[in-house]
Chains A and B, each alone.
Chain A
Amino acid sequence: MNVIEAAGLSKIYGKGSTRVEALRDVSFGVAQGEFVAIVGASGSGKSTLLHLLGGLDRPTSGEVYIDGENLYALKEKERAVFRRRKIGFIFQSFNLIPVLNVEENIQLPLLLDHRQPDKGYIRDLIATLGLDNRRKHLPSELSGGQQQRVAIGRALAYKPAIVLADEPTGNLDSANGREVLELLKLAVRQYHQTVIVISHDMNVAAEADRVLRLQDGRLVSDTRGVSRV
């Protein structure tokens, strides 16, 4: 069974002369443990699609199922809780909470759920991310690559059903970018995570199991096994 099912997703912004069709009737499914890249020119609707998959925005029409749950049939509060438990986000601009240290940032989704983190798992995660000696540092004391690794840790902390990453390497140099990518792949392998990455970066697409290409809001191609070619 697919862990993500997108059915007929459309998103229209504005009205009249300012009307923009950001996404037109996009449908696809993603299986558990897949590493999917969504590529396309800027303005092609990549970010809109990702936001809709993550339940951050509302589609104009169409539906999103995650783990069999119709995301937009949920109430606002239920969707927030669902997001917290099932979806991990990684952003281009890291978006860490500046007043929390590395460890706390990673644990935050659990804490929002009033849960005590599984210490072993978190320690393991931090070690995997290579942040062992940075656990008590604040985001402002970290490099960009390190910050993004924290963001990945945060996205994985709850062992979500899917991880959505919006240009995760966009703000990083190539070495750091590669490292982040490796970590995401590691997550797919080690924790059997489903990861969807948006990127301009052809390196990212090259690493993915499957590449979805968007153009003017339409899904124009769906290629599998690129990395193996």
Chain B
Amino acid sequence: MPEVVQATNSPIAVTPKKDNEWLLIIKRLLRNKLAFLGLIIIILQIAMALLAPIIATHDPVKQDLSASELPVFSEDHWLGTDNYGRDVWSRIVYGSQISLLVGIVAVVLGLLGGVTLGLLGGYYKKLDGIIMRFVDLLFSFPGILLAMLIIAVLGTSLVNVAIAISIWSIPSCARIVRGSVLSIKEKEYIMAMKSVGASDLRIMIKHILPNCFAPIIVFATMRMATAILSTAALSYLGLGAQPPTPEWGSMISQGQAFMWSSPHLTIVPGIAIMLTVFAFNVLGDGLRDAIDPNMNV
């Protein structure tokens, strides 16, 4: 058709291809020094967890009563040993595996539940009331109490800790997703998809969900911090990792009996928990600012 006028390639409108949105977000994130620090700590920690067998100097559960309660910077044990003579550094290294793993599993499970509920609630007005009341119900329990309740029902183990923490993350995730869905479903491109006959499921998965990724990612990062802290807390209470598993929370709880004679048994895992939680929190904050300065999560 010769009479069709070719659309002109206006130089202003066509942005260079490599400037895609996520790249911009990462650039903005790296400009934020605190978030950058958080990212580095997290990367180091992931490396530590993955390379644990290489980095650890000793077997984390091997007892050596002849070298018990060695202080920090002792020969052969730079972070000392605990009351059974286990190397604290190796236990910290292996403990990071557990913290990260439980954190990731808990967050992923929590996202699955929360995103599903949030999508359904936000999209279908009729389901909204029921789902949000259920969410309110979960909200009404103090988090740690809810987790303890779930563990009391399921039994003590790290898997159950992950499940408990994930259930605890569901309500806030559902609320965040629902909020985004409510605003996105009124957009014209959703109307456009309806007008070409797209099914509700297709609209929800392919068109609404990708557009609420930003708040979900921020939520997931922040939630990692909470999950790791809660795992430690539950293990400290004896509901999570069981001895001799090297878990940071249980290390603190075992070390507190020797708080005066060997303070490093509580301080070292305490610092590990603090650094991790701090890293995830500042990264989450940075991500939120990088994705949209006006967004409120």
Do A and B interact with each other, yes or no?
Answer: no
